[in-house]
């Protein structure tokens, strides 16, 4: 992860990762896209998405924090304090 990544760059990357996990075009995913309603994520998808975030941003995300993530905006809110 670039050390000078802005919050907007992180938000865009989280959207891209969600699109990759859902096998959709990244332009279809916005910060407010609901993983379960809009992208049809199931529990395995959420685990894999969390693992993608951990690898991409070189962080460890506790399960209890990841359980509350439903959108890329939620993911950013969870992730950003770990990057600061």
DSSP letter for each residue of 20-48: HHHTS-GGG--TT--TTTTS---HHHHHH
Mean pLDDT over 58-83 rounds to 93
Residues noted as catalytic: 42
Mean pLDDT lowest among 11-20, 59-68, 71-80: 59-68
- pTM for the model stands at 0.92
Predicted pLDDT at 3: 60
Domain 7-83 falls in which CATH fold? Answer: 1.10.1200
User: In terms of Cα–Cα distance, which of 33, 27, 77, 37 is closest to 53?
Assistant: 77
pLDDT, one tens digit per residue, over 23-66 is 999 999 999 999 999 999 999 999 999 999 999 999 999 988 88
């Amino acid at each position: 992860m670039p050390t000078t990544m802005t919050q907007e760059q992180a938000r865009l990357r989280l959207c891209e990762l969600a699109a990759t996990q859902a096998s959709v075009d990244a332009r279809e995913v916005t910060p407010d896209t609901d993983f379960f309603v809009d992208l049809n994520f199931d529990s395995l998808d959420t685990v894999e998405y969390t693992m993608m975030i951990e690898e991409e941003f070189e962080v460890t995300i506790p399960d209890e924090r990841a359980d509350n993530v439903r959108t890329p905006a939620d993911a950013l809110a969870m992730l950003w304090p770990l990057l600061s």
